Amino acid sequence: MYADVHGISADVTDDDALAEVFDWAGTVDHVLMTAGRPAGIGPVAELSRNTAQAAVAGPVGAVLEVVRAAVPRLNPGGSITLASGILVARPRPGMSAPVAAAGAVETLARALAVELAPARLRVNAVRFGAIDTPLLRSRFEAAGAEADAAMAEAGAGMPLGRFGTAEEAASAALFLMANPYMSGEVLTVDGGQSLA
């Protein structure tokens, strides 16, 4: 199952770029859809209409575009795995718009699981906790901190005493892809953060 894995970065708002990616890939067995930085961070009453709407519509629209392009290319028995975040279970002030988007992605995963089941396609979501990625490290650095020290300090307060690794996050997505009887599920991979 893991012999031919390709990570691809594409602007999903560009129909030609998205078509080019799937034309290059041909038929596929599994698609993992993750997004970049959350938008619309800040008190909801202070967000502009455009910012608030884009913060929710952008991620959900991106998922729909990828799914629309992927479905004709997926082999029966294949799957789509969507990425969500721990803030759905543990919201924080100033994160209402990104939480709404992540919650919508989880709901969309369940709806798509029902819609695509007759084609023998599965759809799931992974709700990630804090994962040590270049994106997370860049946030610490943007705040003026040295990434390794800041990550160690912040991670010490988590139930398992550290951030998750990219490999641990990927193994959750691979689990959902590999299990042919998992569909419509949201798998939380957060090292216990949602319990703390």
Q: CB under 8 Å to 26, separation ≥6 — which residues?
A: 73
Q: Is 6 contained in some domain?
A: no
Q: What total of structural domains would you count in the chain?
A: 1
The pLDDT of 168-176, averaged and rounded, is 96
CA nearest to 82, candidates 115, 120, 52, 110: 110
Q: Is 108 contained in some domain?
A: yes
CA nearest to 62, candidates 52, 54, 73: 54
Find the CATH number of the domain harbouring 117. 3.40.50.720
Instruction: Give Cα 69 to chain centroid, integer Å.
Output: 17
Q: Is 24 contained in some domain?
A: yes
Q: Is 1 contained in some domain?
A: no
Q: Is 7 contained in some domain?
A: no
Instruction: Give Cα 82 to chain centroid, integer Å.
Output: 5
| Enclosing domain of residue 154 | 15-195
pLDDT tens track for 57-99: 999 999 999 999 999 999 999 999 999 999 999 999 999 999 9
Neighbouring C-beta atoms of residue 195, cutoff 10 Å:
10
pLDDT of residue 147: 84
pLDDT of residue 3: 57
Q: Is 188 contained in some domain?
A: yes
